[in-house]
Structure 1
Amino acid sequence: MAAASVCLMLALAVPARAETGLDCFSENKDLWIPGCTALILRPGIEPEQLSSAYAMRALGYSLKGQYDTAIADYDAAIRINPDFAVALNNRAWAYFRSGRPQQGLADVEKSLKLNPLSEHSWDTRAHIRQAGGNFTGAFDDYEKAVQIGGERMIRLYQCGLKENGLYNGPVDGLYTTEVRGALRTCAKTATCDPLPADEQCRAATS
């Protein structure tokens, strides 16, 4: 009975949380869109928080494959804060995922200037370079992502390279000669993605 009461209390709390915008930065990605919408509509919100709310809602849309809607929200976030490195990188990624990689190149390059220690931005530029046929540049960027991101990034690539049939070793976060060779081979093909599509694999590496 007590457990049922707790569940009911949580269920009743969800609308209140959404109305106040608390869910915008929740760990539950399904709450980002309603939570951030509530925050965006709140009167008197500070510009920095408004920019972050647009960027988080954009990420929510992007994860659902609604890239045009996501890009519109990233546009709003970046208009408020033109030096928002994460939003710039994520807009570049949304352009890439929507089949317009070159439109994201300027964004990710600005993001890298603002924060050259983001493995995600190096990975984004690697994907964009690879899609454009700059295979050497793509491999260099993937290696930079590995250098900065370390074990977690290596595990992601190991998973993705396994899915592509290019790597048969363990997913252990070690950047071995075999992993490096598989990553180089992948980077030479415009259609090969070293990031895993398998959500279980992604979860195991996070």
Structure 2
Amino acid sequence: EAAAALELAVKARGDFVPAWDYLSVVYRGLQQLDRALDAINQAIKLEDGNPNLYNEKSSVLSDLKRYAEAELAINQAIKLSPRAAFYNNRGIVYRNLQKWDLAVADYNQAIAINPNFGDAYYNRGIVYYNQQKWDLALADYTQAIGINPDYANAYGNRGFVYLNLGDINKARENFQRAAQLFLTQGNTAGYERAIRFLNSL
């Protein structure tokens, strides 16, 4: 329904940039990624100095697994406006490209801009986890939880760190907390995943 309404909006006024932008977001949510890319390209054609549009384009290209192009788009967003969120998002692109050092550098930059940016700590924790740097991953997940005590994914990931450190009790506590939060937040898939991990202990 949202897509239909936005399609009517851009049909009525083809130069209305916010409608093209939101249409891209909606198409991305519907997994109609080629349409999402067409919509955001149209928005950029109309307003090429808007960094948010390049950020959205990077997200679409990442969903398409076209990471090299996603990097170019987020680079443009950062060039126009060096925000913490954009550095964080470029870090995710680098993580998908397994360019670990570049990813960590971008998360560091995001944190330098906004020390209370929980997602940047969480995402840096993922890189450290992949590198089996358990203590660093643990510190970052804990920091993310300190900023946002309802960060269900951070509890779940911290549970895996504790598993790798051989602390089954703390792993169980974190998976239990993740399950509770996922249930409260209405994330059925997350809840079932956390319960599955709990039952495997």
Contact 2:40 2:57 (8 Å CA) reproduced = yes
Match of 1:93 in 2: 92
2:102 is equivalent to residue 103 of structure 1: yes
Retained in 2: the 8 A contact 1:20–1:35? no
Larger fraction in helix? 2
2 CA distance for matches of 1:173 and 1:56? 28
Structure 1 residues 72 and 144 mapped into 2: Cα distance closer, same or farther (>3 Å)? same
Counting aligned pairs with the same residue, the percent is 14
Residue deviations 1:44-78 (CA, integer Å, cap 9, x gap): x373xx11100111112212322222111001111
Could you list the runs of 5+ residues in structure 1 that have no partner in the other structure? 1-5, 175-198
Root mean square deviation, CA, Å: 3.6
The alignment's TM-score, normalised by the length of structure 1, stands at 0.65
- Would you say how many aligned residue pairs link Structure 1 and Structure 2? 167
Aligned runs of 1:28-47 on 2, under 5 Å? 28-30=26-28, 32-42=36-46, 45=47, 47=49
Range 21-30 or range 115-124, more displaced:
21-30
The match for 2:78 is 78
Identify if the C-alpha distance between structure 1 residues 169 and 203 changes in structure 2 by more than 3 Å, giving closer, same or farther: closer
Q: Which has the higher contact order (CA 8 A, sep 6+)?
A: 1
When residues 140 and 156 of structure 1 are mapped into structure 2, their CA distance, relative to the original with a 3 A threshold, is closer
1:203: Cα distance to partner?
A: 9.8
| Counterpart amino acid of residue 158 in structure 1 | G
Partner of 2:152: 154
Pairwise CA distance, 1:18: 7.2
The residue that corresponds to 1:201 in the other structure is 189
After TM superposition, the structure 1 = structure 2 runs for residues 126-145 of structure 1, keeping only pairs within 5 Å, are 126-145=125-144
How far apart, in 1, do the equivalents of 2:7 and 2:44 lie?
22
Kindly provide the CA deviation profile for residues 118-150 of structure 1, in whole angstroms up to 9, marking residues without a partner as x: 211111111122233432111100111112122
What is the DSSP-based 3-state SS (H/G/I as helix, E as strand, rest coil) of the residue aligned with 1:172? Answer: helix
Distance 1:201 1:64, change over 3 A: farther
Counterpart position of 1:23: 20
Taking the aligned partners of 2:84 and 2:153, their CA distance within structure 1 comes to: 24
Q: Distance in 2 between matches of 1:150 and 1:29?
A: 31
TM-score of the pair, normalised by structure 2: 0.67
* 1:13 lines up with 2:8 in the alignment: yes
Cα distance, 1:202–1:74 mapped onto 2, change above 3 Å: farther
Q: Which runs of 5+ in 2 are unaligned?
A: 29-34, 164-170, 193-201
Task: Give the aligned residue type for 1:13.
Answer: L
The reply on whether 1:172 has 2:169 as its aligned counterpart is: no
8 Å Cα contact 2:87/2:110 also seen in 1: yes
